[in-house]
A and B are shown apart, each in its own frame.
Chain A
Amino acid sequence: KAGVTQTPRYLIKTRGQQVTLSCSPISGHRSVSWYQQTPGQGLQFLFEYFSETQRNKGNFPGRFSGRQFSNSRSEMNVSTLELGDSALYLCASSLRLAGDFADTQYFGPGTRLTVL
């Protein structure tokens, strides 16, 4: 079974620009979550999409947004880029089964964004 794929793998942008990152989940997985990883803050949750709806959101400004399509693929967008947005952006997918326990999330390879 193919894993989570993310495109592009590397991206260089300048301050003020916007960027769109893409994530294809594992086949059959309906939930996609996005995380930002930096050396100082570690891995931080951005948001989760399930059934094309944002279900949870982390503590990030409104410049960070996302969406999910009917085939569960997801995109995240960052507008008006700042130097501090340079990071590894990770996407994770899970089955999102109903129940009391959290599903295991499987991560993609990430998109390395550099803002100059």
Chain B
Amino acid sequence: EDQVTQSPEALRLQEGESSSLNCSYTVSGLRGLFWYRQDPGKGPEFLFTLYSAGEEKEKERLKATLTKKESFLHITAPKPEDSATYLCAASGDSGYSTLTFGKGTMLLVSP
């Protein structure tokens, strides 16, 4: 059974204090690793897709990396508007369009 575990569950940062969120996955035949951001009461907003170990993607203050067992979302010099829940999801051989989600990391950035 595919599994995705995210840590920490919650993270509080000061504005400008960089950190990383972790996503560990156990997926048979990884077909894609996805990062989303979700604000309260809204649907997940797509951030990154990673396909192969060693791949990196960047967007503004966010950088996602992928190894054979984990993915990291690095947040550099965060701002209060980066506060949200960050979700990691993986797709494997069990279903082409089936995403297995982690429980998310709730990030709060204080000014």
Contact A109 B99 (CB under 8 A): no
Contact B42 A55 (CB under 8 A): no
Alpha-carbon distance between A102 and B27 when the two chains are bound, in angstroms: 13
User: Of the candidates A33, A108, A112, which one forms a contact with B97 in the assembled complex, judged by CB atoms under 8 Å apart?
Assistant: A33
Which of under 10, 10 to 19, 20 to 34, or 35 or more describes the interface residues of A? 20 to 34
Contact B32 A101 (CB under 8 A): yes
Chain B binding surface, main DSSP class: loop
Contact B97 A50 (CB under 8 A): yes
Contact A56 B42 (CB under 8 A): no
Q: Is the CB of B63 closer than 8 A to any CB of chain A?
A: no
Contact A110 B96 (CB under 8 A): no
Within 8 A of A (CB), among B61-91: 87, 89, 91
Count the B residues whose beta carbon is within 8 Å of the partner chain — how many? 25
Q: Is the CB of A64 closer than 8 A to any CB of chain B?
A: no
Contact B96 A102 (CB under 8 A): yes
Contact B101 A43 (CB under 8 A): yes
Give chain A residues whose Cβ lies under 8 Å from the Cβ of B45.
107
Chain A binding surface, main DSSP class: strand
Q: Is the CB of A94 closer than 8 A to any CB of chain B?
A: yes
Least CB distance, B76 to chain A, in whole angstroms? 23
Contact B103 A42 (CB under 8 A): yes
Alpha-carbon distance between A98 and B46 when the two chains are bound, in angstroms: 21
Least CB distance, A10 to chain B, in whole angstroms? 10
Contact B97 A31 (CB under 8 A): yes
Q: With contacts A43-B87, A43-B99, A55-B95 known, what are 13 further pairs, Cβ within 8 A?
A: A4-B43, A35-B101, A42-B101, A42-B103, A43-B44, A43-B101, A50-B97, A55-B97, A101-B31, A103-B32, A104-B49, A109-B42, A112-B41
Alpha-carbon distance between A92 and B46 when the two chains are bound, in angstroms: 11
Least CB distance, B79 to chain A, in whole angstroms? 23
Alpha-carbon distance between A103 and B96 when the two chains are bound, in angstroms: 8
Give chain B residues whose Cβ lies under 8 Å from the Cβ of A104.
32, 34, 46, 49
User: Of the candidates B31, B43, B95, B104, which one forms a contact with A42 in the assembled complex, judged by CB atoms under 8 Å apart?
Assistant: B104
For the complex of A and B, the 10 pairs showing the least CB-CB separation, nearest first, are A102-B91, A102-B32, A107-B43, A43-B101, A56-B95, A102-B31, A48-B97, A42-B103, A107-B44, A109-B43
